[in-house]
Amino acid sequence: MGKTTISVALAQTLAMGSDNRPSAKVLVVDLDAQANASFWLCGHANLTAHIDQNTTIDTFLENAVVFGKSASLKDNVHSAKAHSDRLFVVPSSPHLRIIERELIVFLSRRHRNLLEVERVVSDLLEQQLQELGMLFDVIIFDTAPGISALTEAALRLSQVVVVPTVPDYISNLGLLSFCRTVSWTSNDPKTVIKRMPWVIANKVKQSKHHQLMLEQMRSASAGDDREFNMFRTEIPSSPRIDEIASNLDMDGELGFDSDGADVFSALAKEVLEVAGQISTTDTRAE
């Protein structure tokens, strides 16, 4: 279970609503060339059609930056298979990896450094989100693992940065470094909303090691000099959740049991608490 499963589960939970939380109109922008979020939300046949019709995020970026065409991200928004009246996606494709490299080469030849490349992409997406923010209650970026120009752009634009981390020694080695990267990005003068990343404890076991690491993480997140905040909600190590997360034959909706649904309902409530009321037009999460 990783960040893409969490992104999709959050999106579906917010779109469904609950007894004490109205349903939201949600857009997922897939910035990962693996396109797993797109696959789950669109289904195989629809995603293949979107790729063939050039209505994916990579085509938009190539047209807008490399070819200098007038392009609207709104034209690349598609209904998800599940909750199609409330849940939408700007899909990705494996070609995104090539397009991102193409953007860097194209702009570097025009004497742009990496920071300027990131800013070109973030400025472009920010312009598009001004329109999309009027149409959706929540916009979620699903990014690739690691830091890239697209991930940096998403970090600049996101009001809430959600970082899933397993509470073990190995998984936490790079946590502080990543969180400092996020904090540094948020201090960029072009970023209006300054924020600290929010960590969600993922695949939590009742083992002594996990519980000790979790205690240390919560202690670190409570200090005055903290590098990150932590959600109260924890995602447990669950065979059913892991089975869903590894099943790439999913076509539409993630079928969590009641325990899994309760976990993501609690997480969705916390995310909205952090981001502000659901009707705010710039409620964006990554």
Question: If the chain, 286 residues long, is cut into consecutive pieces of 10 residues, what is the mean pLDDT of each piece?
Answer: 85 87 93 93 93 96 89 95 90 93 82 76 90 94 85 86 91 80 55 70 93 94 89 86 59 60 90 68 48
Give the C-alpha separation, 147 to 178, whole Å: 9
Tell me what pLDDT residue 170 has.
85
Tell me what pLDDT residue 50 has.
97
Tell me what pLDDT residue 38 has.
95
Residue 9 tokens read as 């589960």
At 143, phi and psi to the nearest 5? -105, 165
**List of residues 6+ apart from 213 with CB closer than 8 A:** 167, 168, 169, 172
Tell me what pLDDT residue 281 has.
40
Evaluate whether 33 touches 12 at the Cβ level (below 8 Å): no
Q: Which domains does the chain have, with CATH numbers?
A: 3-285 (3.40.50.300)
**List of residues 6+ apart from 103 with CB closer than 8 A:** 61, 62, 65, 66, 117, 120, 121, 149
Tell me what pLDDT residue 246 has.
57
Give the C-alpha separation, 251 to 43, whole Å: 5
Tell me what pLDDT residue 192 has.
43
Tell me what pLDDT residue 245 has.
57
Tell me what pLDDT residue 27 has.
97
Residue with tokens 């903290």: 226
Tell me what pLDDT residue 162 has.
93
Query: Strand, helix or coil at 189?
Result: coil
Q: In this structure, how many other beta carbons lie within 10 angstroms of the beta carbon of residue 121?
A: 26
Residue 230 forms beta bridges with which residues?
199
Tell me what pLDDT residue 190 has.
52
Q: Evaluate if pTM is beyond 0.75.
A: yes
